[in-house]
Amino acid sequence: MAEDVKVIVFNLGKEEYGVEVERVRTIERNQHITRVPKTPSFVKGVINLRGVVIPIIDLRGRFGLPETEYTDHTRIIIVNVKNIEVGFIVDSANDVVDVNEDIVEKPPELVGGIKAKYLRGVAKLGNRLLVLLHLEEVLNKQEIVQLENEEE
């Protein structure tokens, strides 16, 4: 029998996404972000979080979705990927659910306009569809460097 994994649920538009709780360091309210020149447009800059400088990525921009104004619900989810801490700007983060690995299906080629390579899978939870992120691909360094070069 497959194990249950605790997942933090966040929203980008009407879609619900998830990232494993064990990868999440903290969830912060939106705060001042210092811009960094010569970075892709979805890299919003850096924040100083309790003495640690953390790069901030707008997930809407990373996935090619239209960016929106930040609101009181906007959150920055700080995750750890390969010992690097990165913050993701999301529309809201408001739930923790248990997802059994047995119900995680391979993602279709596109989910809400997002390429399948960024997704680990899709889980059906009752009438909810939860899209699980593949963090290593979301933070694929070669791809981000390539995008930097294209934007110059």
What is the residue extent of each domain of the chain?
A: 4-151
CATH superfamily, domain 4-151, is: CheA-289, Domain 4 (2.40.50.180)
Residue 143 predicted with pLDDT over 70:
no
pLDDT of 84 reads 84
* pLDDT band, residue 142 (cuts 50/70/90): low
Lowest mean pLDDT among 79-83, 102-106, 144-148: 144-148
Mean pLDDT of 58-76: 91
pLDDT of 108 reads 72
Q: How far is it between the farthest Cα atoms of the chain?
A: 50
Spatial contact of 63 and 7, defined as CB atoms under 8 Å apart: no
Spatial contact of 89 and 59, defined as CB atoms under 8 Å apart: yes
